[in-house]
Amino acid sequence: MPIQGQIIGYARTSTTDQKAGLEAQKRDLSAAGCTKVFHEELSAVATKRPELDRALDYLREGDTLVVAKPDRLARSTADLLQIAELLDSKGVTLRILSMNVDTSTPTGKLMLTMLGGIAEFERDLMLERQREGIAKAKADGKYKGRAPTARAKAEDVIRLKAEGLTGDAIASQLGIGRASVFRILRDAR
CB count within 10 Å of CB 160 equals 19
How far apart (Å, rounded) are the C-alpha atoms in residues 34 and 28?
A: 9
Q: What is the pLDDT of residues 135-164, one digit of tens each?
A: 898 888 888 777 677 778 888 899 998 999
Query: Per CATH, is 151-188 categorized as 3.40.50?
Result: no
Nearest to 154 by CA among 130, 117, 129, 180: 180
Q: Is 38 exposed, middle or buried (0-12, 13-18, 19+ CB in 10 A)?
A: buried
How far apart (Å, rounded) are the C-alpha atoms in residues 128 and 161?
A: 42
- Give counts: helices (H), strands (E), the chain: 8, 5
How does residue 89 score in pLDDT terms, banded at 50, 70 and 90? Answer: very high
Percent over 70 (pLDDT), the chain: 93
**H/E element, 38:** strand 36-41
- Average pLDDT in the chain: 87
For residues 60-69, average pLDDT: 96
pTM above 0.75, yes or no: no
Q: Is the pLDDT of residue 3 over 70?
A: no
CATH superfamily of 7-105: Resolvase, N-terminal catalytic domain (3.40.50.1390)
Crossing angle of helices 50-58 and 77-89, rounded to 10°: 30
Out of 14, 30, 76, 89, pick the active-site residue: 14
**H/E element, 137:** helix 106-139
Q: What is the pLDDT of residues 27-58, one digit of tens each?
A: 999 999 999 999 998 875 667 889 999 999 99
Annotated catalytic residue 43: no
How far apart (Å, rounded) are the C-alpha atoms in residues 32 and 96?
A: 10
Higher pLDDT, 64 or 133: 64
What residue ranges do the domains of the chain occupy? Answer: 7-105, 151-188
